[in-house]
Structure 1
């Protein structure tokens, strides 16, 4: 099975664009987060969610990328995925830092760290955000351009 995973992964990391990442996030919010908030509001009258909708959100953001090799619905539709800097699939602890711990700091900083993170993504050559740096992940495209040789290392 490990051989099969290695075969489906290119030997080169080609980083996802800012627009691909933004599209993936919008799709994830529209497909998962907004409907769950509406369902929660209709059931209990609270936008913040009940324990069932919160459990579904946690499962979606922390476990689904681990089970699918770095994909969420939005990332799959945008043609990108999360992987560890080494090129391996992300683990649960990595996803916990990426989608649990760092967004908490985005909230308590009133969005300032989120703006710093977006700025990092725009100026860094590897397009890493703050949560990528802390979780040691990158967001890469599914395909490698034809002009890139398979034995070439593009990532730094």
Structure 2
């Protein structure tokens, strides 16, 4: 069964919801716990772990993705991503985006908008796709 690719707007709103529903509370909590708002590594670590681990344990979804009806899946077998897949998707892709000074991220944005399969660079690195689910 071929899944319908998730387009730009559903991915955008999923990220926005993750930021509001998870990122903002984590930011506030970590600022309370550390007593600082300056370069809070605790927030960054918690958000990294959230985006890395939740899709592994929740069928390819984050809170935002679940609310938008989309999920990450492996292209090869349409199964949920494992920890290795998510490490490739998040860590290696972030490195690629960093060394290209953000140009890779902009290219990915255009790929999601214009490619028929809606896959970005990080999807190709990890062998994943973001699809709609019922």
Q: TM-score, normalised by structure 2?
A: 0.87
Higher helix fraction (1 or 2): 2
Q: Which structure 2 segments of 5+ residues have no match?
A: none
Structural RMSD (CA): 1.8
In structure 2, the partner of 1:129 is 120
1:84 corresponds, among 51, 59, 74, to: 74
Distance in 2, matches of 1:50 and 1:63, equals 18
What are the residue-to-residue correspondences of 1:1-156 with 2, within 5 Å?
11-42=1-32, 43-51=34-42, 53-86=43-76, 87-143=78-134
Q: TM-score, normalised by structure 1?
A: 0.76
Q: Which structure 1 segments of 5+ residues have no match?
A: 1-10, 144-156
Equivalent residues of 2:7, 2:113 under 8 A apart: no
Total equivalences in the alignment: 132
**Greater Rg over alpha carbons, structure:** 1
